[in-house]
Amino acid sequence: MSIYNFSAGPAVLPKEVLQQAASEMLDWHGCGMSVMEMSHRGSEFMSILAAAQRDFRELLAIPVNYKVLFVQGGAIAENAIVPLNLAARLSVDKSFGGVADYINTGSWSTKSIKEAKRYCEVNVAATSEAQHFAQIPSRADWTLSKNAAYVHICTNETIDGVEYQYTPDVAADTNGAPVVADMSSHILSRAVDVSQYGVIYAGAQKNIGPAGLTILIVRDDLLGHAMPGCPSAFDWKIIADNDSMYNTPPTYAIYIAGLVFQWLKRQGGVVAIEQRNIAKAALLYDYLDSTDFYLTKIAADCRSRMNVPFFLQDETRNEAFLAGAKQQGLLQLKGHKSVGGMRASIYNAMPHEGVETLVVYMKEFEKRHG
């Protein structure tokens, strides 16, 4: 029986990547060492890092005026590190940030807002909280500041299941302030116009690789604005000047990420994977729309292709649903505790057959209990 892992993250990785890592575990390319044992400054690891950076840039067509930084701390750390680096950008007094605009679209934006308030003045320019985060506030309803240091959005809310289906237009939508995007849970799942963003950040443990690596894409002019109190290891300019080697980077996670990037290139890159992701998500949403036995609460124009929360109409059957799913090899479908119900995370490495098998199981379960 095939096993399909629907975890929101850490999440399924391509089998080919795991097999390659296993075959190279004890001896990487004949050097007699595991990647885990290498000096991060040795030529072997430097070549792994350079290839990973090159392939990542190529996959997202990152313009030359952006730096790619491989760091640690996850997206939760970036919730603080972003204001520490950017919020005082336009202020005379650099010890506390000026105004930053935040769009609240769910659990992760809410966390970003709470953290940013420790470092700057936060203007929540729009929120869908009253709609239980089932939609993304329309652009016309964003009340942006005149002089924000940046505008923060979370482009895919992993817990709530909403995803921006467009790239904010910097000039028109944000009064020219740079857009900072938490793309943790959908980076590399679709084509993105990086030039529309000031900063993109993402934890690795969904579409990139193992937990422990965080990737940043920072436009050059946004480096060098850190507040005096920003720890040096979190100062993007220092990290960029040291090519992500200011402190020891998460070497093994970078190596696996590099293998994932090569795998993604073999799949045809983000344009090709996006088409497959659209097809996988449609399979599941079309079925959810066709039945009353299960519910999805998210507005049709902002449904996430990566994270699909759904509910049984009769929630007393939740345990039976999960137990039956497990017997079919369909794992980690329980919804986040703050939302309840079920959630299927269908990242790049989830094969189409995984979603097909899930839908077949859901139909059978409905037939038995409906």
The annotation places the binding site for L-glutamate at: 41
Q: Which two tokens stand for residue 165?
A: 């289906």
* Least distance from ligand PMP to the Cβ atom of residue 35, Å: 22
Shortest distance in whole angstroms from residue 214 CB to ligand PMP: 7
Q: How far is the CB of 311 from ligand PMP (least distance, A)?
A: 20
Spell 213-252 as b/e; 16+ CB within 10 A means b.
bbbbbbbeebbebbbeebeeebbbbbbbeebbebeebbbb
Which single residue brings its beta carbon nearest to ligand PMP?
A: 74
Residue number, 78 or 173, with CB nearest to ligand PMP: 78
CB proximity list for 74: less than 8 A, separation 6 or greater: 203, 211, 214
Residues contributing to the annotated binding site: 41, 108, 158, 182, 205, 247-248
Instruction: Please give the annotated binding residues for pyridoxal 5'-phosphate, written as ranges.
Output: 108, 158, 182, 205, 247-248
3-class secondary structure, 322: helix
As a whole number of angstroms, the distance between CA 284 and CA 278 comes to: 10
265 is catalytic: no
The verdict on whether omega for the bond into residue 10 sits within 30 degrees of 0, i.e. cis, is yes
- 218: helix, coil or strand? strand
Choose between 28 and 164: whose C-beta lies nearer to ligand PMP.
Answer: 164
Say how far apart CA 286 and CA 338 lie, in whole Å. 25
**Shortest distance (Å) from residue 185 CB to ligand PMP:** 4
> CB of residue 75 vs ligand PMP: minimum separation in angstroms?
3
341's CB contacts (< 8 A; 6+ apart) are 309, 310, 311, 312, 315, 318, 335
Nearer to ligand PMP, 108 or 119 (CB): 108
| Least spacing, CB of residue 8 vs ligand PMP, in Å | 6
* Positions in the binding site for ligand PMP (CB under 6 A): 9, 74-76, 108, 154, 158, 182, 184-185, 203
Residue 146 is among the residues annotated as catalytic for this protein = no
As measured in angstroms, the least distance from the Cβ of 100 to ligand PMP is: 17
Active site residue: 101, 160, 173, 206, which one? 206
303 is written with which tokens? 């449904």
User: 312, 341 in Cβ contact below 8 A?
Assistant: yes
Q: How far apart are the first and last CA of the chain?
A: 26
Nearer to ligand PMP, 145 or 332 (CB): 332
Extract the tokens encoding 236.
Answer: 């993007």
- Select 75 or 325, whichever has its Cβ closest to ligand PMP: 75
Pick the catalytic residue from 160, 182, 237, 334.
182
The single residue of 28, 55, 67, 108 carrying the catalytic annotation is 108
From CA 368, how far away is CA 365, in angstroms rounded?
A: 5
SS3 call for 240: helix
Please answer whether residues 338 and 159 qualify as being in contact, where contact means their C-beta atoms are separated by less than 8 angstroms: yes
Based on the residue annotation, tell me whether 141 is a catalytic residue of this protein: no
Identify the three-state secondary structure at position 57. helix
Nearest to 261 by CA among 74, 20, 6, 9: 20
Which of 71, 312 has the CB closer to ligand PMP?
71
**Closer residue to ligand PMP, CB minimum distance, 71 or 222:** 71
Q: Active-site residue numbers?
A: 108, 182, 206
